Structure 1
Amino acid sequence: MQQKSYVQGACDAPLIGATIGDYLDTVIERFSDNLALVVPSQDVRWTYREFGRRVDALAAGLLKLGLQSGDRIGIWSQNCAEWVLTQFATAKAGLIMVNINPAYRRAELEYVLKKVECSALILAPSFKTSNYLEMLQDVAPEIARCAPGRLQSERLPRLRQVIRLGAEKTGGMLNFDDLLDADDEDLRRLREVSRQLQFDDPINIQFTSGTTGAPKGATLTHHNILNNGFFIGEAMRLTDADRLCIPVPLYHCFGMVLGNLACVTHGATMVYPGEGFDAKAVLETVQAERCTGLHGVPTMFIALLEHPDFAQYDLSTLRTGIMAGSPCPIEVMRRVIDQMHMHEITIAYGMTETSPVSFQSAVDDPLDLRVSTIGRVHPHLEVKIVDAEGRIVPRGAKGELLTRGYSVMLGYWGDEEKTREAIDAARWMHTGDLAVIDENGFCSIVGRSKDMVIRGGENIYPREVEEFLYRHPKVQDVQCVGVPDQKYGEELCACVILRPGMQADADEIRAFCEGQIAHYKIPRYVRFVDAFPMTVTGKIQKYLLRERMGTELGLS
């Protein structure tokens, strides 16, 4: 009988049946003197014992404000020690932490706070060019006139508490550090509240990053993200001796699950090289802290490899890490392994709605498979590849990837219709990604179902063409999108970023393809760009790129 594209993650290690708070307490008992968190820019070097004490104090402080289990509390901030304290403190108190994208502006902030009806908001004063205090006061001008903790806003009627980071005081806002002064009675109440929590309770709302349109609030439980973080760390073979450099945004699953929870579940050290990604800061931090692991999206690794001082840094302590967030160029992976000593780097694949990882390569997978696939299915999960009619396809055939298991979100907050569109009656999460599973269970992502270009009846998978163009010696990065065409319906457009100092024209790029790939796959249009539209996490927003190219070419 022909083997079908269905796989499941058999595993001897059982799922963790505990809340995040309870599991953190067991980790602190085992690794109390291990470094938990290092943030050089804040002069933070906390052991697990110190980290746990601050988490408990903050959790108790939040409850003391009158917040109750199930209330939503937003956090709008860059990477910092306060962010991870909030992550674990809200979990201990049974509050639902709402991750707010640091790149959001006024309208987006208002949308998110209203959508999930946040009772409280923790925010940084500013980050890069964003003045968060000013934007919030534009949305809720009543803040300046209200006493701390007594906010009544016409546009944000459910928001009662605003807590700012930093030492300075702002009218109408509480100060983060003031919440850390918990007494014995406060801590006793926290313990009572924590005992009532269940691991299937919602604990986190993450708004999808907007690569395909308007964001939706994926609602995740203790069980979702705690287990996913644990098995991610297992795949990396993390131990309490590891130090993981985390330059990816904490507001996203990549930072808070693949980074923070992978570390904490193994007693490893979380290391933040800065408030946002900076290639020089990452290189300096890896060297100074002797990091053994490093996370990043492909564009981050490209920036590190292309940094003019790259060769001056000692990265020899690195062994593992994760490259994820968007498809990983094979040539970039080879350079990371060869030049950054990351011989045990893994590739991870998933989506926010699945907590997020559902496939990951193993550190001892053959090199060719680690650079050409996303590995095999994660423990305790099921995956199938289906055709347009929903039938499972044979191994080696393309189709949409569906995921089922402990990691699938509860749903989109306040949006039953969108939830039903994403999760079917059998609890399969429809990812929208096109994939192929081989006879040994290794999976390759070949594109997004919405990214597929249909040229005169021929299906073109942009990912396949991109991988070929990465071989061109002058090409640093490339993304292919479909643009309208009267004759064929769609034509392929290659958007190319050249290596520094290089020059090329469209004819040269097309000539490189001649005789190497099918004629209909050769891009009709080649545009040279300086950068791609991206989310804060480094995901390419292809729908924006597609719109821009259509406009520039006069086709839309």
Structure 2
Amino acid sequence: MNETENEITGQKESLLQKNIYINIWTKIRRISKLSYLHNVGKEPLRPLTFGLLLEDTVQKHGDKCAIISTHQNKKFSYSEVLHQADRLAAGLINIGFQNGDRVGIWAPNLIEWYIANMACARAGFVMVAINPAYQPKEMEYCIKKLVFALNTFEDLKNALSQHLNEYVFISRGTHNFNEILDLADAKSIKLIKNNQDNIKIDDPCNIQFTSGTTGQSKAAVVSHFNMVNNGFYVGKRNELGKKHHKICVQVPLFHAFGTVITISASLNYGSTLMLPSPILKKARKENISPEIAVTGGAICSPQLFKDMLEVLNLKKVKSVYGLSETTAVVFQSLYDDDQRKSTSTVGYIQDHIEAKVVDANDKIVPIGAPGELCLRGYSVMLGYWEDEEKTKETIGPHKWLRTGDQFIIDENGYGKVVGRLKEMIIRGGENIFPREIEDFLNTHSDILETHVIGLPHERLGEEVCACVRLKEDRTITLDEIKKYCKGNIAHFKIPSVLVIVDNFPKTASGKIQKFKLIEIVKNNKVNKEVI
């Protein structure tokens, strides 16, 4: 058989094995009737550091384009990335950085961001991915050493002088980016190359700040092992191994979506990243025909899935679910999932991951019942940086990580997010999950986006408040909302308060901060319509 026939045969065998595996687990779960999953995986985990993964990719795909920065008019092959990363790593070592130092990257999506990330891995630094929108006060919480920034040097020096030991700027400051590259010499570059075996797969690789939907962000520490393997399995589910792909980066690199689902996945399969995404304006110029879109990071409505398929003329839309605390992805659409599974669930559990859904007493709930999702496996973070108490609250003695998400696992092993535990509304003793109401109201022709919150109520405990953002030049009343809901959702779920907003408070990664939304509404900072 030729190479193409072998590939097709391998795909069929892999699909058959996957279906056999799912069928076995479906039967077991129907017998047990409990919301527990363990996907043991068909391939072993990869014992590589992120820096050695780059070497491995260069050996396989050295001449392939690793990254194109369209707005900078720059591109690098994988061989060039390795060379630039080792030069930068050597230069940083020569100005005093040491193995294990935390190195913050504070910049928008630039090719220098990508190279700096690789340099950190090659030198054994802990890369701290920082939102470029952060202001000096927020920066103080995040970092000790700042490497790359696009703010003014004086502003940072005045605000952070007690917290930073070294400043390196792309265009200004005590050290210019290119000057750092020039500080490298043959001896220091050789030192970087020879030091790879001294960096351990379980060493910290990245500090990822959580999205802060319920308060201050926490610093989740993930290892090289976490990063390499989660990227491998994410890329596999996203079909990167079937042929060479270009990945249009629609997300910030500082987010787990950027560091793992794009960078690590592309590195595992020799794919090409494109910054910023040319998917709309430059698709023809770069000879790109979008095939697959991946959505994650926040709950996505079925209507948005439909719009993505139609507007972008895609073949597929895939879902992923995960947390910064689990490196990135733990549930994801399978290769052959139909549109219903892709839009109504967050996919099937990832390889080498365990999941269970528990009640308030930590008992596993029956299949299809809601409860808190708990996860265990290789992708669980090392912990929160210098916060042992919070780490113990999140990861129990048996290594189960509590997600804080209300979740349902169906009889086929697919997951569905119902909402956050803290977001559940209890109205007159009835448990109400905002997601259900939000998805229904988003089908209204005048509504662009809906978020449902609970407000204090003297008799019922809480009442349902729908906060909606309308399409341009549209109006809606609470009475119209009630009529639209009647006969479609239970009477106790129908909103009794309506708030029209122009925008919603969000984190940098686009997640709605409902705690802030509740404060805004409770403090009467918006117009409310109440029964």
- Give the Cα separation in 2 of the matches to 1:539 and 1:370: 20
Q: C-alpha offsets along residues 48-107 of structure 1, whole Å, 9 cap, x if unaligned?
A: 111221111111111112211111111111111111111111011100011122222121
Q: C-alpha offsets along residues 439-471 of structure 1, whole Å, 9 cap, x if unaligned?
A: 110111101000001111111100010011111
- Give the Cα separation in 1 of the matches to 2:65 and 2:71: 16
Post-superposition offset of 1:530? 1.2
Instruction: Tell me the residue number matched to 1:339.
Output: 311
Instruction: Tell me the residue number matched to 1:86.
Output: 116
Instruction: Tell me the residue number matched to 1:122.
Output: 147
Post-superposition offset of 1:112? 1.7
Q: CA RMSD in A?
A: 1.6
Taking a change above 3 Å as real, the CA distance of residues 253 and 290 of structure 1, as seen in their structure-2 partners, is farther
Which of 488, 509, 514 is equivalent to 2:460?
488
Which of 478, 484, 488 is equivalent to 1:506?
478
Instruction: Tell me the residue number matched to 2:4.
Output: none
Letter in 1 for 2:131: N
3-state SS of 2:453 partner: strand
Letter in 2 for 1:218: A
- Give the Cα separation in 2 of the matches to 1:321 and 1:23: 25
Instruction: Tell me the residue number matched to 2:131.
Output: 101
Letter in 2 for 1:284: K
3-state SS of 2:423 partner: coil
Q: C-alpha offsets along residues 151-194 of structure 1, whole Å, 9 cap, x if unaligned?
A: xx4x22xx32100012xx43xx2111111122210111112322
TM alignment of 1:424-463, pairs within 5 A: 424-463=396-435
Letter in 2 for 1:360: Q
- Give the Cα separation in 1 of the matches to 2:282 and 2:203: 37
Matched residues, number: 495
Instruction: Tell me the residue number matched to 2:168.
Output: 163
TM alignment of 1:93-242, pairs within 5 A: 93-113=123-143, 118=144, 120-126=145-151, 133-140=153-160, 153=161, 155-156=162-163, 159-166=164-171, 169-170=172-173, 173-181=174-182, 182-239=184-241, 241-242=244-245
Post-superposition offset of 1:503? 2.1
Letter in 2 for 1:163: V
TM alignment of 1:29-428, pairs within 5 A: 29-113=59-143, 118=144, 120-126=145-151, 133-140=153-160, 153=161, 155-156=162-163, 159-166=164-171, 169-170=172-173, 173-181=174-182, 182-239=184-241, 241-273=244-276, 282-291=279-288, 317-428=289-400
Letter in 2 for 1:8: H
Letter in 1 for 2:86: D
- Give the Cα separation in 2 of the matches to 1:360 and 1:541: 24
Q: C-alpha offsets along residues 257-285 of structure 1, whole Å, 9 cap, x if unaligned?
A: 111111111100001117xxxxxx65113
Tell me if structure 1 keeps the 8 A contact 2:65–2:76: yes
Tell me if structure 2 keeps the 8 A contact 1:273–1:285: no
Which of 528, 538, 544 is equivalent to 2:500?
528
3-state SS of 1:215 partner: coil
* Percent identity for Structure 1 against Structure 2: 40
Instruction: Tell me the residue number matched to 2:25.
Output: none
Letter in 1 for 2:147: I
Tell me if structure 2 keeps the 8 A contact 1:345–1:363: no
- Give the Cα separation in 2 of the matches to 1:135 and 1:539: 29
- Give the Cα separation in 2 of the matches to 1:475 and 1:431: 30
Unaligned runs of 5+ in 2: 1-30
3-state SS of 2:344 partner: coil
Which of 11, 25, 32 is equivalent to 2:41?
11
- Give the Cα separation in 1 of the matches to 2:317 and 2:471: 24
- Give the Cα separation in 2 of the matches to 1:11 and 1:39: 35
Tell me if structure 1 keeps the 8 A contact 2:347–2:415: yes
Q: C-alpha offsets along residues 474-506 of structure 1, whole Å, 9 cap, x if unaligned?
A: 111111111111121111111111112322222
Q: State TM-score, norm by structure 1.
A: 0.86
3-state SS of 1:33 partner: coil
3-state SS of 1:536 partner: coil
3-state SS of 2:280 partner: helix
Q: C-alpha offsets along residues 287-341 of structure 1, whole Å, 9 cap, x if unaligned?
A: 43244xxxxxxxxxxxxxxxxxxxxxxxxx1111310111110011122123323
Which of 438, 443, 466 is equivalent to 1:466?
438
Post-superposition offset of 1:554? 9.8
Instruction: Tell me the residue number matched to 2:7.
Output: none
Letter in 1 for 2:235: G
Post-superposition offset of 1:134? 4.6
Tell me if structure 1 keeps the 8 A contact 2:220–2:381: yes
